[in-house]
């Protein structure tokens, strides 16, 4: 599936829920699908410190695609990063750099990406794009 096909599927899933509490139950449920970062990678370099909840993120470049593992100490944040990682993992650096994550506002979660949010999510998205950019330029220079 393309990044956008995955996003459209998520949007469709969430159309089932009109109540915020049900939406959040679904988000928390999605957190259970997050490929968890290996404990040994939970080091300061991989920590994206929000004001309140923390996110650990570890990238891996394999066969031309980028794969992410992650974790958070807050379970709603974990659900949100699970959706992001699910949408972006397994795609090429070019696709990730170019990706427009429209599913977030479509689900009504745009406030989680506004700069005043303290969950580290915006910083995580920036970090994901930076990793992809780094892999992209490394590939261009002929490095593995």
User: Contact residues for other proteins (CB under 8 A)?
Assistant: 20-21, 24-25, 28, 51-53, 73-77, 118-119
Smallest distance from other proteins to CB 118, Å: 7
Unique residue bearing structure tokens 């910083």: 123
Is 51 designated active site?
A: yes
Distance in angstroms (rounded) separating the CA atoms of residues 37 and 47: 11
Cβ closest to other proteins, residue 74 vs residue 134: 74
Buried b / exposed e over 100-137, threshold 16 CB at 10 Å, is: ebebbebbebeebbeeebebbbbbbbebbbebbeebbe
Cβ closest to other proteins, residue 58 vs residue 119: 119
Smallest distance from other proteins to CB 5, Å: 29
Measured from the Cβ of residue 51, the count of other Cβ atoms closer than 10 Å reads 10
Smallest distance from other proteins to CB 28, Å: 7
Residue 44, by phi and psi: left (phi above 0), alpha (psi -120 to 50) or beta?
alpha
Cβ closest to other proteins, residue 121 vs residue 125: 121
Q: Which of 1, 43, 47, 51 is catalytic?
A: 51
User: Which positions are annotated as active-site residues?
Assistant: 51
């Amino acid at each position: 599936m393309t990044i956008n096909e995955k996003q459209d599927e998520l949007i469709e899933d969430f159309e089932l829920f009109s109540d915020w509490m049900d939406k959040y139950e679904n988000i928390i449920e999605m957190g259970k699908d997050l490929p968890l970062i290996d404990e040994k990678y939970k080091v300061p370099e991989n920590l994206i410190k929000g004001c309140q909840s923390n996110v650990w993120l570890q990238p891996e470049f394999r066969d031309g695609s980028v794969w992410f593992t992650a974790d958070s100490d807050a379970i709603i944040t974990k659900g949100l990063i699970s959706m992001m990682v699910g949408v972006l993992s397994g795609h090429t650096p070019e696709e990730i750099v170019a990706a427009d994550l429209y599913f977030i506002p479509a689900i009504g979660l745009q406030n989680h990406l506004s700069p005043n949010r303290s969950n580290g999510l915006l910083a995580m998205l920036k970090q994901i794009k930076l990793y992809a950019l780094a892999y992209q330029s490394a590939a261009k220079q002929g490095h593995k």
